[in-house]
Structure formats: C-alpha cells, structure tokens
Chain A
Amino acid sequence: MINYFQTLVNFSPEEIIDLENIIQSKKVAKGNHLIREGKICDFIAYVQKGCLRCYFLKEDGTEMTDNFSFEDDFITDYHSYLTQSPSLQNTMALEDAELLILRKKDVESLYQKSLNFQELGRLMAENLYVFSYQRVQSLLTENAEEKYLRLIRQRPQLLNRVQHYYVASYLGISPETLSRIRKKIYVKETKKGKKMIKLST
C-alpha cells in the first residue's frame, strides 16, 4: 500500500514512518463481513490477499452486487466514511482476506501534519470519484453483455474466483441469462478464430 502511495506523492522518510504507524492489519474469514449495513464505516481498507464482494440489500430482500475487490484494491463505504452516517452496503469476504486498515481519525491527524498527506487524501478521493464515474457510465450506457465483456477485461480474476451467480447479480441479470451471454460470446470468439475466453464455473 505504501508503495502505491509513493507513486502518488513524494513522501519524506519521516512521513513514511508516520504512515506506517497508523496502519493496522485485519483478517476477515471467508463468509464474514468487513462492512455491515447500519454500521458506520470509519476506515479505508487495502486488500493484501483475498477477494471480497460489496452488495446492497433491496427492500424485497434480494441482494444487488455493486463491486468485487481483489489484491491491491481499496475498500470503504466512502459515503459513510465522510458523513459518519450508517453504511447502506455490506462487504463480505468470498475468500479468506488479509487487509490493511487506515482509520479515519488517524488519517485526519496526518492531514494536520503536512501538505503531502492532504495531497494524498485529495488524490485518493479523486481516484474514487473516477472509479464511481465509470461505474455510473457503465450503468447508464451499457447492456448486460457489454458490461460483462468490460468486467472480464478489467477483472479477469473474476472468472476463476467469483461464483457465477454473484457475477449475474453484479450485471443485474439472472444466472440463466448470464449463461446465455457467455455462450453467445464463446460462439462469437470461436467464429473469429481468436484465442477463446475460458469459461469456468
């Protein structure tokens, strides 16, 4: 995580120590939750190992998958983090996960220390914005097949590590429809004589 931060801001050795001092580690076993609806999320987590799924519970009790996170991804409910309001989402480990945690109060104490930490906070917030912006764009302009193709291009790990029905839930379609889309893509790719996309699970 610190390596990644150093690509964003040029930290002094003292600042790196300040950063190291606030990092906590946390393990979440498969099937357990990192973030729970109704609780305030006062941290930013970095995935060292594992795979997690973020989802919302709709009023009718169905789950709507919003995101998957793998190694080197950041996880937070940034809305809850910023506004100190209860989280609307749940984040569950799909595999045993090892995380690094930055607590809000510690991050804010760093902001007081130097401009570099302010700049790190700004760049992180801007990156989050760009990520969400792309998500909105995808939601508003892509159909399920387009979304699926983009997903496996950006996150090829999904195919081997995430259950089929969670991927369907992310795309907002039934597992049966996802199977049909996969088949269609498989046929298209075969016809083109391209290297075939491996369809696991």
Chain B
Amino acid sequence: MHFPFSRFPALLLVFVFLLTQAIMGLSANALADDGPEDWYPFFSWFLFDEAPARLQTGYVIRFTDEGGVTHIYPAPAAHVEDFRETPLSYHLVENFGRAVTGGQEEAVSRMLPALEAAVAPRSDAFTLFRVVYNPVEYWKNGTVRSEEEMRAYAIRH
C-alpha cells in the first residue's frame, strides 16, 4: 500500500491533520463550560493554563489521636510523612466536603465509610471544616484564612 503516493497529497494529509487537531482541541476547550472537557480523543493541550487562585475554598478534616495530638488533613508539608501509608487522599476529603455542602446525602453515605476506615486507626471521631486558604501558606505552615465547621462524625467500630 503506497498511499499517499507523493509528498503533495502527503503534505495535504498532514495539513488537514494539524488543522483538525487545532480546531477540535481549541473548540472543545472554548465550549468546556457547556459540554465535555475534551472531545475524545482530541484535546486542547491547555494544561496548567490558568493560575491557581491565591485564595481557595476547600475542605479539611481534623481529628485528635490517642496521644492527644490534633491532626489536619490534607496535611501541610511538615506533616505529610505522618500520612505516608494512609488511604486518605486530598480528593476524597474534597469530594466528601462538596457532597456535604451540596446536600448530596447519597454521595456522603458512599464516601463516609472510606473516610471512617482511614481515620479509625488513629481516632474515633473527626470533624469536617470548610476553609479559605492560600495554597502556599497552607502548604508551608498549615494556616487558613478562615474556617467553618461543617459536621462532626463519630466513627462506629
């Protein structure tokens, strides 16, 4: 099989390919608010295109272990190693917090056992907070600009 025969049809093929990639990628991105993030398998390649906000709203959990030490998760830099083996993850806490805020009780019920199982080896209770933070400050020192207690959970053993 020898298609595309010569360099001109081959270059035309290349040109159409490149144009399609650019048009599909850019239009998918432009319409991202109304539809899918991408038109699979096309992609805009707008990776890290927006700067993260200096003040972000997110969720953290706090709990006190048997030794009386209070932990916060997601952990700031100095305490990341304390959670090296934990099944906890940033996205689990974030998605859980959003579900609680949005009143999505089914999603809350689905995620709660995973959170309880992750905290249970260290504590029998935890509290969910909605926080406003600067990511640099939070990562360096664990400080938040403001916080609001959402819900406290007792872990059933």
Note whether A and B form a binding pair.
no
